[in-house]
A and B are shown apart, each in its own frame.
Chain A
Protein backbone atom coordinates (compact mmCIF):
# COMPACT_ATOMS: atom_id res chain seq x y z
CA UNK A 1 0.00 0.00 0.00
CA UNK A 2 2.81 2.42 0.99
CA UNK A 3 4.64 1.78 -2.28
CA UNK A 4 1.46 2.16 -4.32
CA UNK A 5 0.80 5.58 -2.74
CA UNK A 6 4.41 6.64 -3.36
CA UNK A 7 4.16 5.40 -6.96
CA UNK A 8 0.95 7.38 -7.53
CA UNK A 9 2.54 10.52 -6.00
CA UNK A 10 5.51 10.10 -8.39
CA UNK A 11 3.15 9.65 -11.37
CA UNK A 12 1.06 12.74 -10.50
CA UNK A 13 4.16 14.92 -9.87
CA UNK A 14 5.80 13.77 -13.14
CA UNK A 15 2.63 14.51 -15.13
CA UNK A 16 2.32 17.89 -13.36
CA UNK A 17 5.90 18.74 -14.36
CA UNK A 18 5.27 17.72 -17.98
CA UNK A 19 1.91 19.44 -18.46
CA UNK A 20 2.60 22.43 -16.19
CA UNK A 21 5.88 23.29 -17.92
CA UNK A 22 4.10 24.20 -21.12
CA UNK A 23 0.75 25.37 -19.69
CA UNK A 24 0.14 26.98 -16.29
CA UNK A 25 3.73 27.56 -15.22
CA UNK A 26 5.28 27.95 -18.64
CA UNK A 27 8.25 30.21 -19.33
CA UNK A 28 8.05 33.51 -21.27
CA UNK A 29 6.31 33.48 -24.63
CA UNK A 30 7.83 34.49 -27.93
CA UNK A 31 8.56 38.12 -28.76
CA UNK A 32 7.90 38.97 -32.41
CA UNK A 33 8.35 35.30 -33.32
CA UNK A 34 11.70 35.14 -31.55
CA UNK A 35 12.18 32.72 -28.68
CA UNK A 36 14.40 33.56 -25.73
CA UNK A 37 16.71 31.19 -23.87
CA UNK A 38 14.02 30.31 -21.33
CA UNK A 39 11.97 28.69 -24.09
CA UNK A 40 14.66 26.03 -24.51
CA UNK A 41 14.77 25.53 -20.74
CA UNK A 42 11.01 24.95 -20.90
CA UNK A 43 11.43 22.39 -23.71
CA UNK A 44 14.12 20.58 -21.71
CA UNK A 45 11.85 20.49 -18.65
CA UNK A 46 8.97 19.09 -20.71
CA UNK A 47 11.24 16.42 -22.21
CA UNK A 48 12.54 15.35 -18.79
CA UNK A 49 8.95 15.43 -17.53
CA UNK A 50 7.83 13.04 -20.29
CA UNK A 51 10.66 10.58 -19.46
CA UNK A 52 9.79 10.86 -15.74
CA UNK A 53 6.09 10.26 -16.44
CA UNK A 54 6.85 7.11 -18.47
CA UNK A 55 9.19 5.78 -15.74
CA UNK A 56 6.69 6.59 -12.98
CA UNK A 57 3.80 4.93 -14.83
CA UNK A 58 5.84 1.79 -15.58
CA UNK A 59 6.83 1.74 -11.92
CA UNK A 60 3.18 1.69 -10.81
CA UNK A 61 2.24 -1.32 -12.99
CA UNK A 62 5.37 -3.50 -12.65
CA UNK A 63 4.86 -5.93 -9.75
CA UNK A 64 8.55 -6.78 -9.15
CA UNK A 65 9.74 -4.92 -6.02
CA UNK A 66 13.38 -4.81 -7.20
CA UNK A 67 12.49 -3.23 -10.56
CA UNK A 68 10.23 -0.73 -8.72
CA UNK A 69 13.22 0.35 -6.61
CA UNK A 70 15.45 0.58 -9.71
CA UNK A 71 12.91 2.77 -11.50
CA UNK A 72 12.58 4.98 -8.41
CA UNK A 73 16.37 5.46 -8.41
CA UNK A 74 16.13 6.62 -12.05
CA UNK A 75 13.20 8.95 -11.18
CA UNK A 76 15.18 10.38 -8.25
CA UNK A 77 18.27 11.14 -10.35
CA UNK A 78 16.25 12.59 -13.22
CA UNK A 79 14.05 14.76 -10.99
CA UNK A 80 17.12 16.20 -9.25
CA UNK A 81 18.54 17.03 -12.71
CA UNK A 82 15.22 18.63 -13.73
CA UNK A 83 15.49 21.05 -10.79
CA UNK A 84 18.80 22.33 -12.20
CA UNK A 85 17.51 22.96 -15.73
CA UNK A 86 16.10 26.48 -15.19
CA UNK A 87 18.89 29.06 -14.97
CA UNK A 88 21.68 26.64 -14.03
CA UNK A 89 21.92 24.34 -17.04
CA UNK A 90 19.99 26.62 -19.42
CA UNK A 91 19.86 30.39 -18.89
CA UNK A 92 16.58 32.15 -18.35
CA UNK A 93 15.69 35.74 -19.29
CA UNK A 94 17.78 38.59 -17.92
CA UNK A 95 15.19 40.23 -15.69
CA UNK A 96 14.11 38.43 -12.58
CA UNK A 97 10.58 39.78 -12.65
CA UNK A 98 9.75 37.83 -15.82
CA UNK A 99 7.51 34.75 -15.93
CA UNK A 100 10.42 32.35 -16.39
CA UNK A 101 11.96 33.55 -13.11
CA UNK A 102 8.79 34.22 -11.09
CA UNK A 103 6.72 31.16 -12.09
CA UNK A 104 8.51 28.60 -14.28
CA UNK A 105 11.74 28.25 -12.27
CA UNK A 106 10.22 27.97 -8.74
CA UNK A 107 7.43 25.66 -9.97
CA UNK A 108 9.90 23.30 -11.71
CA UNK A 109 12.12 23.26 -8.60
CA UNK A 110 9.20 22.61 -6.19
CA UNK A 111 7.59 19.86 -8.33
CA UNK A 112 11.00 18.23 -8.95
CA UNK A 113 11.74 18.33 -5.22
CA UNK A 114 8.40 16.65 -4.40
CA UNK A 115 9.13 14.02 -7.05
CA UNK A 116 12.67 13.44 -5.76
CA UNK A 117 11.41 13.10 -2.15
CA UNK A 118 8.69 10.62 -3.18
CA UNK A 119 11.25 8.60 -5.16
CA UNK A 120 13.72 8.68 -2.27
CA UNK A 121 11.04 7.51 0.18
CA UNK A 122 10.14 4.68 -2.23
CA UNK A 123 13.81 3.65 -2.51
CA UNK A 124 14.08 3.53 1.30
CA UNK A 125 10.83 1.55 1.69
CA UNK A 126 12.00 -0.87 -1.03
CA UNK A 127 15.40 -1.33 0.63
CA UNK A 128 13.83 -1.92 4.07
CA UNK A 129 11.41 -4.51 2.65
CA UNK A 130 14.21 -6.31 0.83
CA UNK A 131 16.17 -6.47 4.09
CA UNK A 132 13.14 -7.83 5.93
CA UNK A 133 12.51 -10.59 3.37
CA UNK A 134 16.13 -11.81 3.53
Chain B
Protein backbone atom coordinates (compact mmCIF):
# COMPACT_ATOMS: atom_id res chain seq x y z
CA UNK B 1 0.00 0.00 0.00
CA UNK B 2 1.43 3.37 -0.99
CA UNK B 3 1.64 6.33 1.42
CA UNK B 4 -1.00 8.15 -0.64
CA UNK B 5 -3.39 5.21 -0.43
CA UNK B 6 -2.77 4.93 3.33
CA UNK B 7 -3.65 8.62 3.65
CA UNK B 8 -6.84 8.13 1.63
CA UNK B 9 -7.84 5.04 3.65
CA UNK B 10 -7.09 6.80 6.90
CA UNK B 11 -9.43 9.69 6.00
CA UNK B 12 -12.25 7.63 4.48
CA UNK B 13 -11.90 4.81 7.03
CA UNK B 14 -13.25 7.08 9.80
CA UNK B 15 -16.02 8.92 7.97
CA UNK B 16 -17.64 10.43 11.05
CA UNK B 17 -14.42 11.95 12.40
CA UNK B 18 -13.34 13.17 8.95
CA UNK B 19 -16.79 14.65 8.27
CA UNK B 20 -16.83 16.45 11.65
CA UNK B 21 -13.39 17.95 10.95
CA UNK B 22 -14.42 18.86 7.42
CA UNK B 23 -17.54 20.57 8.77
CA UNK B 24 -15.43 22.65 11.18
CA UNK B 25 -13.14 23.70 8.30
CA UNK B 26 -16.12 24.57 6.08
CA UNK B 27 -17.65 26.67 8.86
CA UNK B 28 -14.36 28.36 9.65
CA UNK B 29 -13.48 29.32 6.07
CA UNK B 30 -17.07 30.24 5.21
CA UNK B 31 -17.41 32.59 8.18
CA UNK B 32 -13.97 34.16 7.65
CA UNK B 33 -14.51 34.72 3.90
CA UNK B 34 -18.20 35.67 4.03
CA UNK B 35 -17.66 37.95 7.02
CA UNK B 36 -14.69 39.70 5.42
CA UNK B 37 -16.61 40.30 2.16
CA UNK B 38 -19.72 41.58 4.00
CA UNK B 39 -17.65 43.86 6.19
CA UNK B 40 -15.79 45.26 3.16
CA UNK B 41 -19.10 45.73 1.28
CA UNK B 42 -20.50 47.78 4.14
CA UNK B 43 -17.38 49.94 4.36
CA UNK B 44 -17.44 50.49 0.57
CA UNK B 45 -21.13 51.43 0.77
CA UNK B 46 -20.43 53.95 3.52
CA UNK B 47 -17.50 55.52 1.64
CA UNK B 48 -19.66 55.71 -1.48
CA UNK B 49 -22.43 57.38 0.51
CA UNK B 50 -20.05 60.03 1.86
CA UNK B 51 -18.70 60.82 -1.60
CA UNK B 52 -22.08 60.66 -3.26
CA UNK B 53 -23.57 63.60 -1.39
CA UNK B 54 -21.06 66.11 -2.65
CA UNK B 55 -22.81 68.80 -0.61
CA UNK B 56 -22.06 70.06 2.88
CA UNK B 57 -25.63 70.95 3.77
CA UNK B 58 -29.00 69.78 2.49
CA UNK B 59 -32.03 72.01 3.03
CA UNK B 60 -35.46 70.36 3.24
CA UNK B 61 -38.90 71.59 4.35
CA UNK B 62 -39.20 72.02 8.13
CA UNK B 63 -41.12 68.94 9.16
CA UNK B 64 -40.15 65.70 10.81
CA UNK B 65 -41.25 64.02 7.59
CA UNK B 66 -38.84 66.00 5.40
CA UNK B 67 -35.57 64.79 6.90
CA UNK B 68 -36.79 61.25 7.55
CA UNK B 69 -38.08 60.90 4.00
CA UNK B 70 -34.84 62.28 2.59
CA UNK B 71 -32.80 59.82 4.64
CA UNK B 72 -35.02 56.91 3.63
CA UNK B 73 -34.78 57.97 0.01
CA UNK B 74 -31.02 58.37 -0.01
CA UNK B 75 -30.13 55.42 2.16
CA UNK B 76 -32.82 52.83 1.49
CA UNK B 77 -34.29 53.92 -1.82
CA UNK B 78 -37.80 54.40 -0.43
CA UNK B 79 -39.48 56.79 -2.86
CA UNK B 80 -40.60 60.03 -1.26
CA UNK B 81 -41.60 63.58 -2.04
CA UNK B 82 -41.99 66.84 -0.11
CA UNK B 83 -42.03 70.41 -1.26
CA UNK B 84 -41.20 73.95 -0.15
CA UNK B 85 -41.61 77.28 -1.84
CA UNK B 86 -39.12 78.05 -4.58
CA UNK B 87 -38.37 81.45 -3.03
CA UNK B 88 -36.24 79.55 -0.47
CA UNK B 89 -33.61 79.28 -3.17
CA UNK B 90 -33.26 83.05 -3.38
CA UNK B 91 -33.16 83.43 0.41
CA UNK B 92 -30.41 80.82 0.67
CA UNK B 93 -28.26 82.68 -1.85
CA UNK B 94 -28.12 85.63 0.57
CA UNK B 95 -26.76 83.54 3.47
CA UNK B 96 -23.08 84.21 4.16
CA UNK B 97 -20.78 81.33 3.36
CA UNK B 98 -22.91 79.69 0.68
CA UNK B 99 -20.64 79.02 -2.26
CA UNK B 100 -22.86 76.94 -4.53
CA UNK B 101 -26.43 75.81 -4.29
CA UNK B 102 -28.64 73.68 -6.43
CA UNK B 103 -32.29 72.76 -6.04
CA UNK B 104 -33.84 69.35 -6.71
CA UNK B 105 -37.41 68.34 -7.29
CA UNK B 106 -38.66 64.94 -6.16
CA UNK B 107 -41.44 63.13 -7.90
CA UNK B 108 -42.69 59.60 -7.32
CA UNK B 109 -44.14 57.78 -10.28
CA UNK B 110 -47.39 55.91 -9.94
CA UNK B 111 -46.87 52.20 -10.50
CA UNK B 112 -45.16 52.51 -13.83
CA UNK B 113 -46.15 50.32 -16.71
CA UNK B 114 -42.90 48.41 -16.57
CA UNK B 115 -43.02 47.65 -12.95
CA UNK B 116 -45.10 46.95 -9.88
CA UNK B 117 -43.23 49.48 -7.74
CA UNK B 118 -43.07 53.24 -7.52
CA UNK B 119 -39.98 54.86 -8.96
CA UNK B 120 -38.22 57.92 -7.53
CA UNK B 121 -37.85 60.60 -10.18
CA UNK B 122 -35.39 63.39 -9.35
CA UNK B 123 -35.57 66.57 -11.35
CA UNK B 124 -32.41 68.63 -11.16
CA UNK B 125 -31.07 71.84 -12.61
CA UNK B 126 -28.38 70.96 -15.12
CA UNK B 127 -26.81 74.45 -14.92
CA UNK B 128 -26.34 74.74 -11.17
CA UNK B 129 -26.04 71.12 -10.08
CA UNK B 130 -22.80 70.04 -8.46
CA UNK B 131 -23.81 67.05 -6.34
CA UNK B 132 -25.37 64.82 -8.98
CA UNK B 133 -23.59 65.93 -12.14
CA UNK B 134 -20.16 64.54 -11.28
CA UNK B 135 -21.77 61.11 -11.07
CA UNK B 136 -24.02 61.60 -14.06
CA UNK B 137 -21.16 62.77 -16.24
CA UNK B 138 -19.51 59.39 -15.80
CA UNK B 139 -22.31 58.04 -17.87
CA UNK B 140 -23.49 60.94 -19.99
CA UNK B 141 -21.66 64.19 -20.68
CA UNK B 142 -24.33 66.01 -22.70
CA UNK B 143 -27.08 68.21 -21.30
CA UNK B 144 -30.26 66.22 -20.65
CA UNK B 145 -32.94 66.86 -23.26
CA UNK B 146 -36.70 66.66 -23.01
CA UNK B 147 -37.93 63.18 -22.04
CA UNK B 148 -34.40 61.95 -21.58
CA UNK B 149 -33.44 60.08 -18.44
CA UNK B 150 -30.35 58.92 -16.68
CA UNK B 151 -31.04 55.88 -14.55
CA UNK B 152 -29.38 54.54 -11.43
CA UNK B 153 -27.60 51.21 -11.55
CA UNK B 154 -30.48 49.57 -9.69
CA UNK B 155 -32.84 50.13 -12.62
CA UNK B 156 -32.57 47.30 -15.11
CA UNK B 157 -33.23 49.51 -18.18
CA UNK B 158 -30.19 49.83 -20.46
CA UNK B 159 -29.03 52.89 -22.42
CA UNK B 160 -31.26 53.27 -25.46
CA UNK B 161 -34.23 51.57 -23.79
CA UNK B 162 -37.45 53.47 -23.18
CA UNK B 163 -39.32 53.78 -19.91
CA UNK B 164 -42.92 54.91 -19.70
CA UNK B 165 -44.14 57.14 -16.87
CA UNK B 166 -47.76 58.36 -16.93
CA UNK B 167 -47.88 57.30 -20.58
CA UNK B 168 -44.86 59.45 -21.52
CA UNK B 169 -42.15 57.53 -23.29
CA UNK B 170 -38.75 58.57 -21.89
CA UNK B 171 -35.47 57.52 -23.41
CA UNK B 172 -32.65 56.24 -21.22
CA UNK B 173 -29.50 58.08 -22.30
CA UNK B 174 -27.17 57.12 -19.48
CA UNK B 175 -26.70 54.77 -16.61
CA UNK B 176 -24.86 55.47 -13.39
CA UNK B 177 -22.31 53.30 -11.70
CA UNK B 178 -23.45 51.48 -8.60
CA UNK B 179 -23.16 53.47 -5.37
CA UNK B 180 -24.68 50.90 -3.04
CA UNK B 181 -27.14 53.53 -1.79
CA UNK B 182 -30.87 54.03 -2.21
CA UNK B 183 -30.39 56.46 -5.08
CA UNK B 184 -29.34 53.56 -7.27
CA UNK B 185 -33.03 52.97 -7.88
CA UNK B 186 -33.82 56.59 -8.83
CA UNK B 187 -34.11 58.12 -12.29
CA UNK B 188 -32.81 61.61 -13.08
CA UNK B 189 -34.45 64.05 -15.44
CA UNK B 190 -34.39 67.73 -16.31
CA UNK B 191 -36.99 70.11 -14.85
CA UNK B 192 -38.65 70.30 -18.27
CA UNK B 193 -39.13 66.54 -18.38
CA UNK B 194 -40.56 66.57 -14.85
CA UNK B 195 -43.04 69.30 -15.86
CA UNK B 196 -44.08 67.15 -18.82
CA UNK B 197 -44.60 64.14 -16.55
CA UNK B 198 -46.72 66.18 -14.11
CA UNK B 199 -48.85 67.40 -17.03
CA UNK B 200 -49.23 63.83 -18.27
CA UNK B 201 -50.19 62.71 -14.75
CA UNK B 202 -52.89 65.43 -14.72
CA UNK B 203 -54.31 64.21 -18.01
CA UNK B 204 -54.48 60.71 -16.49
CA UNK B 205 -56.55 62.00 -13.59
CA UNK B 206 -53.71 62.39 -11.05
CA UNK B 207 -54.32 66.08 -10.57
CA UNK B 208 -52.67 66.38 -7.14
CA UNK B 209 -49.27 66.68 -8.83
CA UNK B 210 -50.30 69.64 -10.98
CA UNK B 211 -50.45 71.80 -7.84
CA UNK B 212 -46.77 71.08 -7.18
CA UNK B 213 -45.07 72.32 -10.34
CA UNK B 214 -41.28 72.76 -10.42
CA UNK B 215 -42.07 76.36 -11.45
CA UNK B 216 -43.39 77.05 -7.94
CA UNK B 217 -41.86 74.53 -5.56
CA UNK B 218 -38.65 72.61 -4.92
CA UNK B 219 -37.92 69.59 -2.72
CA UNK B 220 -34.41 70.13 -1.47
CA UNK B 221 -31.43 72.41 -1.92
CA UNK B 222 -27.89 71.09 -1.90
CA UNK B 223 -25.37 73.60 -0.57
CA UNK B 224 -21.61 73.75 -0.83
CA UNK B 225 -20.05 75.97 1.84
CA UNK B 226 -17.22 78.37 0.99
CA UNK B 227 -13.77 77.54 2.29
CA UNK B 228 -13.05 79.35 5.56
CA UNK B 229 -16.66 79.24 6.76
CA UNK B 230 -17.77 76.90 9.51
CA UNK B 231 -20.37 74.47 8.14
CA UNK B 232 -22.18 74.25 11.48
CA UNK B 233 -22.46 78.05 11.66
CA UNK B 234 -23.85 78.28 8.12
CA UNK B 235 -26.34 75.50 8.99
CA UNK B 236 -27.41 77.44 12.12
CA UNK B 237 -27.72 80.69 10.10
CA UNK B 238 -30.06 78.98 7.61
CA UNK B 239 -32.19 77.45 10.36
CA UNK B 240 -32.48 80.79 12.18
CA UNK B 241 -32.75 83.05 9.16
CA UNK B 242 -35.21 81.25 6.88
CA UNK B 243 -38.66 80.18 8.02
CA UNK B 244 -40.14 76.82 7.09
CA UNK B 245 -36.91 75.07 6.22
CA UNK B 246 -34.54 72.75 7.96
CA UNK B 247 -30.86 72.70 7.10
CA UNK B 248 -29.14 69.40 7.81
CA UNK B 249 -25.43 68.85 7.76
CA UNK B 250 -24.85 65.85 5.48
CA UNK B 251 -22.22 64.47 7.83
CA UNK B 252 -24.72 64.34 10.70
CA UNK B 253 -27.28 62.71 8.42
CA UNK B 254 -25.01 59.77 7.78
CA UNK B 255 -23.75 59.53 11.37
CA UNK B 256 -26.62 57.26 12.40
CA UNK B 257 -25.92 55.01 9.41
CA UNK B 258 -22.20 55.03 10.19
CA UNK B 259 -22.97 54.03 13.79
CA UNK B 260 -25.19 51.15 12.67
CA UNK B 261 -22.53 50.09 10.21
CA UNK B 262 -19.94 50.16 12.97
CA UNK B 263 -22.12 47.88 15.14
CA UNK B 264 -22.61 45.44 12.22
CA UNK B 265 -18.94 45.51 11.37
CA UNK B 266 -17.88 44.90 15.00
CA UNK B 267 -20.39 42.05 15.31
CA UNK B 268 -18.96 40.42 12.19
CA UNK B 269 -15.40 40.79 13.54
CA UNK B 270 -16.44 39.25 16.88
CA UNK B 271 -18.21 36.40 15.07
CA UNK B 272 -15.19 35.70 12.85
CA UNK B 273 -12.84 35.72 15.87
CA UNK B 274 -15.14 33.52 17.97
CA UNK B 275 -15.66 30.93 15.22
CA UNK B 276 -11.95 30.94 14.38
CA UNK B 277 -10.74 30.47 17.98
CA UNK B 278 -13.42 27.89 18.79
CA UNK B 279 -12.67 25.91 15.63
CA UNK B 280 -8.91 25.98 16.31
CA UNK B 281 -9.46 24.71 19.88
CA UNK B 282 -11.82 21.95 18.67
CA UNK B 283 -9.26 20.91 16.04
CA UNK B 284 -6.52 20.75 18.69
CA UNK B 285 -8.70 18.59 20.96
CA UNK B 286 -9.82 16.30 18.10
CA UNK B 287 -6.27 15.71 16.85
CA UNK B 288 -4.96 15.05 20.37
CA UNK B 289 -7.79 12.59 21.07
CA UNK B 290 -7.32 10.92 17.72
CA UNK B 291 -3.62 10.29 18.29
CA UNK B 292 -4.40 8.66 21.66
CA UNK B 293 -7.08 6.54 20.04
CA UNK B 294 -4.74 5.39 17.25
CA UNK B 295 -1.61 4.71 19.32
CA UNK B 296 -1.72 0.99 18.46
CA UNK B 297 -2.08 1.68 14.74
CA UNK B 298 0.89 4.05 14.77
CA UNK B 299 2.96 1.57 16.77
CA UNK B 300 2.26 -1.01 14.08
CA UNK B 301 3.34 1.43 11.39
CA UNK B 302 6.59 1.98 13.30
CA UNK B 303 7.16 -1.79 13.39
CA UNK B 304 6.69 -2.12 9.60
CA UNK B 305 9.30 0.55 8.97
CA UNK B 306 7.73 4.00 9.33
CA UNK B 307 10.19 6.52 10.79
CA UNK B 308 9.12 8.99 13.50
CA UNK B 309 9.24 11.75 10.89
CA UNK B 310 6.99 9.76 8.53
CA UNK B 311 4.40 9.21 11.29
CA UNK B 312 4.34 12.91 12.09
CA UNK B 313 4.04 13.73 8.41
CA UNK B 314 1.16 11.27 8.09
CA UNK B 315 -0.83 13.04 10.82
CA UNK B 316 -0.13 16.49 9.40
CA UNK B 317 -0.98 15.36 5.85
CA UNK B 318 -4.37 14.06 7.01
CA UNK B 319 -5.07 17.41 8.66
CA UNK B 320 -3.88 19.33 5.57
CA UNK B 321 -6.05 17.36 3.13
CA UNK B 322 -9.19 17.80 5.27
CA UNK B 323 -8.47 21.51 5.83
CA UNK B 324 -7.76 22.27 2.15
CA UNK B 325 -10.93 20.49 0.98
CA UNK B 326 -12.96 22.10 3.79
CA UNK B 327 -11.59 25.57 3.00
CA UNK B 328 -12.46 25.21 -0.70
CA UNK B 329 -16.01 24.03 0.09
CA UNK B 330 -16.46 26.76 2.72
CA UNK B 331 -15.31 29.58 0.45
CA UNK B 332 -17.48 28.28 -2.42
CA UNK B 333 -20.53 27.96 -0.14
CA UNK B 334 -20.03 31.46 1.29
CA UNK B 335 -19.64 32.86 -2.27
CA UNK B 336 -22.95 31.25 -3.26
CA UNK B 337 -24.66 33.07 -0.38
CA UNK B 338 -22.82 36.40 -0.23
CA UNK B 339 -22.67 37.37 -3.93
CA UNK B 340 -26.00 36.30 -5.47
CA UNK B 341 -27.95 37.40 -2.40
CA UNK B 342 -26.03 40.67 -1.85
CA UNK B 343 -29.10 42.79 -2.72
CA UNK B 344 -31.25 40.83 -0.29
CA UNK B 345 -28.69 41.23 2.52
CA UNK B 346 -28.47 44.97 1.73
CA UNK B 347 -32.24 45.26 1.85
CA UNK B 348 -32.56 43.37 5.14
CA UNK B 349 -29.64 45.18 6.81
CA UNK B 350 -30.92 48.54 5.52
CA UNK B 351 -27.33 49.66 5.04
CA UNK B 352 -25.59 50.92 1.91
CA UNK B 353 -23.48 48.08 0.54
CA UNK B 354 -21.11 47.95 -2.40
CA UNK B 355 -19.33 44.69 -3.24
CA UNK B 356 -15.53 44.89 -3.20
CA UNK B 357 -13.66 44.55 -6.50
CA UNK B 358 -12.46 41.19 -7.84
CA UNK B 359 -8.87 41.61 -6.63
CA UNK B 360 -10.04 42.29 -3.06
CA UNK B 361 -12.42 39.31 -3.22
CA UNK B 362 -9.57 37.04 -4.36
CA UNK B 363 -7.48 38.47 -1.50
CA UNK B 364 -10.18 37.65 1.08
CA UNK B 365 -10.56 34.15 -0.38
CA UNK B 366 -6.80 33.56 -0.10
CA UNK B 367 -6.83 34.91 3.45
CA UNK B 368 -9.68 32.58 4.48
CA UNK B 369 -7.99 29.66 2.70
CA UNK B 370 -4.67 30.35 4.41
CA UNK B 371 -6.35 30.79 7.82
CA UNK B 372 -7.88 27.30 7.63
CA UNK B 373 -5.11 25.53 5.70
CA UNK B 374 -2.52 26.71 8.24
CA UNK B 375 -4.59 26.29 11.43
CA UNK B 376 -5.41 22.59 10.79
CA UNK B 377 -1.83 21.38 10.31
CA UNK B 378 -0.70 23.63 13.20
CA UNK B 379 -3.35 22.11 15.48
CA UNK B 380 -2.13 18.63 14.48
CA UNK B 381 1.56 19.56 14.93
CA UNK B 382 1.41 18.89 18.69
CA UNK B 383 -0.06 15.44 18.03
CA UNK B 384 2.62 14.81 15.40
CA UNK B 385 5.29 15.79 17.95
CA UNK B 386 3.84 13.37 20.51
CA UNK B 387 3.80 10.62 17.91
CA UNK B 388 7.48 11.15 17.19
CA UNK B 389 8.17 10.28 20.85
CA UNK B 390 6.00 7.16 20.84
CA UNK B 391 7.48 4.14 22.64
CA UNK B 392 6.39 1.26 20.41
CA UNK B 393 7.52 -1.46 22.78
CA UNK B 394 5.62 -0.02 25.73
CA UNK B 395 2.39 0.31 23.74
CA UNK B 396 2.55 -3.33 22.66
CA UNK B 397 3.42 -4.46 26.21
CA UNK B 398 0.45 -2.54 27.64
CA UNK B 399 -1.82 -3.82 24.84
CA UNK B 400 -2.98 -0.25 24.25
CA UNK B 401 -4.76 -0.72 20.96
Contacts and interface: CB of A to CB of B under 8 A. Distances in A.
A9 to B, nearest CB: 15
Interface in B124-177: 153-157, 163
B347 interface: yes
A98 B163 CA distance: 17
B336 A95 contact: no
Contacts of B112: 94
A93 B185 contact: no
B184 A94 contact: no
Contacts of B117: 28, 93-95, 98
B203 interface: no
Given A95-B155, A96-B154, A110-B336, A36 B343 contact: no
Interface string B14-30: 00000000000000000
A27 to B, nearest CB: 10
Contact of B343 (A28, A94, A97): A97
Interface residues of B, number: 23
B327 to A, nearest CB: 19
Contact of B155 (A30, A96, A107, A109): A96
Contact of B184 (A30, A96, A106, A113): A96
Contact of B185 (A28, A96, A109): A96
Interface string B66-87: 0000000000010000000000
Contacts of B347: 97, 102
Interface in A95-125: 95-98, 101-103, 105-107, 109-110, 113
B116 interface: yes
A102 B156 CA distance: 13
Contacts of B153: 96
Contacts of A29: 116
Contacts of A32: 111
A81 interface: no
Contact of B156 (A31, A92, A109): A92
Nearest to A113: B336
B343 A95 contact: no
Nearest to B157: A94
B111 A31 contact: yes
A87 interface: yes
Contact of A110 (B157, B184, B340, B343): B340
A105 B343 CA distance: 11
B6 interface: no
B115 interface: yes
B344 A95 contact: no
A12 B153 CA distance: 35
Greatest chain A CB density within 10 A among B115, B184, B341, B346 is at: B115
Interface of B: 77, 111-112, 114-117, 119, 153-157, 163, 184-185, 336, 340-341, 343-344, 346-347
16 contacts: A30-B116, A31-B116, A32-B111, A36-B115, A94-B112, A94-B115, A95-B77, A95-B117, A96-B185, A97-B77, A98-B115, A101-B156, A102-B341, A103-B344, A106-B340, A110-B340
3 pairs of A and B residues whose beta carbons are closest in the complex: A106-B340, A31-B116, A94-B115
Given A91-B156, A93-B117, A106-B341, 11 more contacts: A29-B116, A93-B115, A93-B116, A93-B156, A95-B77, A95-B115, A97-B154, A97-B184, A97-B346, A105-B340, A107-B340
